[in-house]
Amino acid sequence: MSKINLENLTTERRNQETFGLDEMSVTQAVELMNREDQKVAEAVAKELGSIEPVIAHTIDSFKKGGRLIYMGAGTSGRLGVLDAAECVPTFGVEPEMVIGLIAGGEAAMTVAVEGAEDSFELGEEDLIHLNLTKNDMVIGIAASGRTPYVIGGLDYARSIGAVTATISCNKNAEISKHADFPIEVDAGPEFLTGSTRLKSGTAQKLILNMISTISMIGIGKVFNNLMVDVKPTNEKLVERSKRIIMQATEVDYETAARYFNEAEQNVKLAIVMILTNSDKETAQDKLVEANGFVKGTL
């Protein structure tokens, strides 16, 4: 890859609107930052056509027993790790189903690991360590659009037949050349020059939200607009689980709580038991036949 020219990257350009930040009042700065942030959602909206096929192929990977794997360095890597981690309690999936890889490993979540993001080989090695298969979906995330760690991983993924996608915040990004389905969002220069944890990070988070959430909807993890596979791992989530049962079935709190306990705290199972007037075993069979979709049991 040729030597990077930062002047050609939107994410590295100076923002003409934010000159004189150090002389602004707090009020002026927060108002200006908010205006800049509003541009992010508009920029993402222009790329929905590129995001849709990524979600479709992620759903397909899940249905084949494959995984969704994010790869990135720095802020981009941390956002991937965050999205992967949130899928476990939100959708009741195993941690291995959605994985976030960050250059430099777990230590890089809080402290930069020198040289890690510049290694093509490390990206490949991390995927080999996961025993990557052709059924997996690999998404490389890089605000700059040129991170070697990500490119190394993408090239390896494609070599074994896995579907690949990218999320970058510059047009004509280098990583786009190494993916089946590139997503390029241009939200303009950062509020603070070169600080890609800001607008670029927000754009990436919005897209990751779309990919993971809508992919989970596509495999039956949602009924109506309710997260029926939520894992009740604390008191707040136990109460939320009962509320979800109430909202899905229109029963009262006491009834929801009773079925929640009878279903051994499985929200989806409790809902199917109520809606189909079935015992636990019958409801379980109905869910299996419906591939996990509540509506398929009705």
Nearest-angstrom CA–CA distance, 200 and 115: 22
Averaged pLDDT for residues 211-240: 95
252-275 pLDDT tens trace: 999 999 999 999 999 999 999 999
Mean pLDDT of the region 69-88: 96
pTM: 0.91
Q: How confident is the model at residue 16 (pLDDT cuts 50, 70, 90)?
A: confident
Q: Exposure pattern of 222-235 as b/e (b: 16+ CB <10 Å)?
A: bbeebbbbbbbeee
Q: Taking Cα atoms as reference points, which of 143, 56, 131, 121 lies closest to residue 99? A: 131
150-171 pLDDT, tens digit each: 999 999 999 999 999 999 999 9
Which of the residues are catalytic?
A: 86, 117
